[in-house]
Amino acid sequence: MSVKVAKSAGFCFGVSRAVEMVENASAQGKRVVTLGPIIHNRHVVSKFDSMGIQVIGKPEDATPGSTVIIRSHGVSKAVQEMLQSRDVEIVDATCPFVKRIHGIVAKAEEEGRLPIIMGTRSHPEVEGIAGWCTDCRVFESAEELKSWIDQEQISPDLPVCMVSQTTSTEISWKKSVQIAKKQFTNLKIFDTICRATEFRQKEAADLSQTSQAMVVVGDAKSSNTGRLAMICRERCEKTVLVDNASELDPNFFCGVSNVGITAGASTPAWIIKEVNKTMSEFVNADAVQEENFAELLEQSIKTLNTGDKVLGIVTGIGNTEVQIDLGTKHAGYIPYDEVSADPSVKPEDILKVGDEIEVFVVRVNDQEGTVQLSKKKLDGMKIWDEMAAFAEEKATVEGVITEENKGGLVATVKGIRVFIPASQSGVAKGGDMAGQVGKTVKLKVTEVNRARRRVIGSIRAVTSEERKANQEKIWAEIEEGKKYHGTVKSLTSYGAFVDIGGVDGMVHVSELSWNRIKTPADVVKVGDEIDVYVISFDAEKRKISLGYKTAEMNPWNQFMMNYNVGDVVDAKVVKLMTFGAFAEILPGVDGLIHISQIADKRIGKPEDVLAEGQDVKVKITDVDAENKRISLSIRALLEPVAEEAEAETEEVAE
């Protein structure tokens, strides 16, 4: 029989770091307590208990002067603030990967997004994450997420941010993401599964697929250990979960020729070693895999070389440098001037203790055991990598126009100068190039030359792409009567051309106004934004006929809605005829004042009393809606006055 132990079995980085923090604090003679079990393993907790390290259940249990260690699962913001209000020293052993999720959900809520957390509700890690926002939703499966969406009839427009418990399975997470992508149109997804967890689960899956029996070592209360057991059982029916070697049953392995062993992230190396040793004893294995278990207790001593890119954890921010734990025998540090390319940025503005960052190895001093690092150099290298990727993928990026020169424009994209030739600026020849300075624009990176540190971009490529996409959308959805908001592009003697979002349509001069106009310029000018509707279109010839005037704009309709027979209105005499005068009530609506209605006495011709352009007060005496004719009278307003005058004269005579 052969026995194989998974390389990833045992403590993960976060757990190893938390245990080390407890041991270091205890070694300094401090009165140490942990807020909750430091990890989900009773053997480790028991060991610490024997060292005088107690477990407390809530912040109020911490006595003044003690050192409180926050476990790797992390805590809510409220718990952290409560601890800060007490007279205790706080050592935050929250896994950096979990800490990152706290920041994500807190920022999401600031942006008005609803955080959705995929994980086990009762798990301390999930409870801690949920405590960094005031409102969130926690789902334990993709099916539960789908049920919530359907039952609550959640709007697709709801802004959502989605994260996962670090120990979730990749399969469950991907199912949940697919459901969310189908439902939400305003969705931000953060894949927060710990890569170490993902690798551990993949290795367990591969090992269980080729093994006749699997042993999963760890505390049954541990979430990640439980998931490992589930993954193994799906591929190997003969799977057993044991807390330690004493729970192994020799009869379980009868008839088995090869066994695989894996362990949860909270399982100490000595327990894994004990299980492996016990297996070799009672199965009389022919070839039990020899493992260097010292590597599971301590991180491997890595070889560092100048020019390497390495991951590290910020452990302190001093007056002149930032201390970094690289997981090696070397002490890493970043001088302040190597933190950022922006001299105005302070290290504490962008870094905090516990952050995981990638850095560039500048110098290794094996004699002193130190490594000089640079974040600035790596950031610069990454940006140029990004620029090359943008060019290769033809991606659209945002930049700010910083200057105009003879050849075109200069934009800044992620701190890099990007030259945009005039022909690619999107500004018409002779147009206002200087007016673009200060604007945020979308552009494509078309050429990157690292050696010459030269980048060329194009705004025109983006606008052309967007215009083409808009054209296809318009032609796919166009129909008679459909309304569009467009911009007047040009004027001719016979009409106006209007851009309705990538496609030009023509509004004939007869469709611009209900009134008689000499030219389209009497109604609109280039650059005006107007609402139009489709009268007809020819998709084959790519022609669209648009209308601008509407029934609501019809002067006659306006008259009928606002005026009645008997109304007294102000009008303007616009034309004199032998039989009377035409007076304008509204632009486009005239009424006739018959010669008999101009004065309270007989007159020879209208011009004896009226003149064109004269403002008069008239009474509407009749409206012929069918023939659109209006009768007006000035006399009707004069007769009552004359009658009143006669009456007054008679009274005086009496």
Residues annotated as part of the active site:
125
Which amino acid would we find at residue 28?
A: Q
Tokens of 113: 């997004």
Residue type, 356: E
Q: Which tokens in the block code for residue 226?
A: 């439980």
The residues, ordered by sequence, that sit 6+ positions from 65 with a Cβ below 8 Å of its Cβ are: 31, 87, 88
Name the helix (H) or strand (E) containing 68.
Answer: strand 67-70
Beta partners for 254?
A: none
CA distance readout (Å), 496 to 455, 489, 530: 41, 8, 11
> What type of residue sits at position 638?
L
The Cα–Cα gap between 513 and 352 comes to 66
By DSSP bridging, strand 287-288 and strand 2-5 are parallel
Rounded alpha-carbon distances, angstroms, from residue 397 to 259, 389, 416, 454, 551:
52, 11, 12, 17, 45
Name the residue among 624, 65, 1, 99 with its Cα closest to residue 356: 99
Query: Token match 């569009």: residue?
Result: 484
Instruction: Specify whether the backbone of 271 is left (phi greater than 0), alpha (psi in -120 to 50) or beta.
Output: alpha
Which distant-in-sequence residues (6+ apart) come within 8 Å of 626 by Cβ? none
- Strand, helix or coil at 166? coil
CB 239 within 8 A of CB 214: yes
d(CA 467, CA 472): 9
CA distance 102 to 520: 60
* Other C-beta atoms lying within 10 Å of the C-beta of residue 633: 21
Rounded to 5°, angle at Cα 319 from 318 and 325: 25
**CA distance linking residue 314 with residue 354, whole number of Å:** 5
Per-residue tokens: 174:
């991907």
Q: What letter does residue 517 receive in the DSSP assignment?
A: -
User: How far apart, in whole angstroms, are the C-alpha atoms of residue 591 and residue 245?
Assistant: 107
172 three-class SS: helix
What is the C-alpha to C-alpha distance for residues 654 and 642, in angstroms, rounded to an integer? 19
- Residue 428 DSSP class: P
Task: Give kind and range of the element (H or E) at residue 374.
Answer: strand 370-374
Strand partners, 188: 161
DSSP 24: H
Q: Are 599 and 638 in contact (CB under 8 A)?
A: yes
Report the chain's terminal Cα–Cα distance, integer Å: 143
In what helix (H) or strand (E) does residue 646 lie, and over which residues does it extend? Answer: helix 635-653
| Residue of 495, 560, 561, 562 whose CA lies nearest to 532 | 495
Helix (H, G, I), strand (E, B) or coil at 194: coil
10 Å CB burial of residue 634 (0-12, 13-18, 19+) is: buried
Distance of alpha carbon 526 from alpha carbon 528, whole angstroms: 6
Q: What residue type is assigned to position 358 of the chain?
A: E
